[in-house]
Amino acid sequence: MAENLVESKPALVLVVEDEVEIRELISLLLLRQGHRVEQCSTASEAKDKLRYHKYDLIVLDWMLPQMSGLELLKSFGPAPSGFSSVESEPAAFSERPPVLMVTAKAEPQDIVQGLESGADDYITKPFEPSVFAARVRALLRRAKAVPKPKGSEDILQVGELKINMATYEVHCGQELLHLTPSEFKIMSEMGKALGRVMTRDYLVRVVQGDGISVTGRTIDTHVFGLRKKMGPCADCIETIRGVGYRLRSE
């Protein structure tokens, strides 16, 4: 069907999965979207391919033979802003495409670990093909069309929401939002990692300060307060159940 085809030129996607049937299914779903696909079954094969080819997206399994998908993520060097919580090896690649982790490890702590290790999104097996296709489209859209600051490098605008990093001001339309320092820290971090999931553990570290005790429940309270103040812009913040939050990229 035409709706399954990408609107722009096809993406080149690397599928790293050791189970043949799942690898073929993922590849078929990507091909149906109009993308080009390359496959491999181990992390070492993936590293070799990444040295010589530029991919638009990596679909990565966690439980791979010899080297896990998580170890491969860490070999890319520092994770994107908002996720790094572990010490990485020296970067093996100067830049890398978005990574969609597809794995049977479905516990909340597994999802948190995958995201904090550098995955840009995470989907568990078994998955609905329509959900997989939507996640792929979203990641490629963010990679190709991240909103650019309007008028200044210090300003991020998403729809009616505008975050000014220099003046510490946030507007919804023409209305100035009166945020607490902790609320602004959370908003600015989500803005810098636009479209990416921010785990509660990471946001705790963002807000934590000398003499301040912060928990995941505290973060939830801050986000609840943020949404109340944001009015019609409140839908910009999306809850990822059991994991954290993200600021929608569109």
Domains of the chain: 2-144 (3.40.50.2300), 155-247 (1.10.10.10)
Q: Quick one: tokens of 114?
A: 């995958």
- Cα-Cα-Cα-Cα torsion 154, 157, 158, 161, nearest 10 degrees, comes to 110
In this structure, what DSSP letter does residue 188 have? H
Cis upstream peptide for 126 (omega within 30°): yes
pTM for the whole structure = 0.57
164: which DSSP letter? E
By the 8 A CB rule, do 65 and 20 touch? no
As a whole number, mean pLDDT of residues 193-200 equals 83
> For 24-72, what is each residue's pLDDT tens digit?
999 999 999 889 999 999 999 998 888 888 889 999 999 999 899 999 9
What percent of the chain lies above the pLDDT cut of 90?
32
Is 124 within 8 Å of 105 (Cβ atoms)?
Answer: yes
Q: Is the per-residue pLDDT at 246 higher than 60?
A: yes
Percentage of the chain with pLDDT > 70? 82
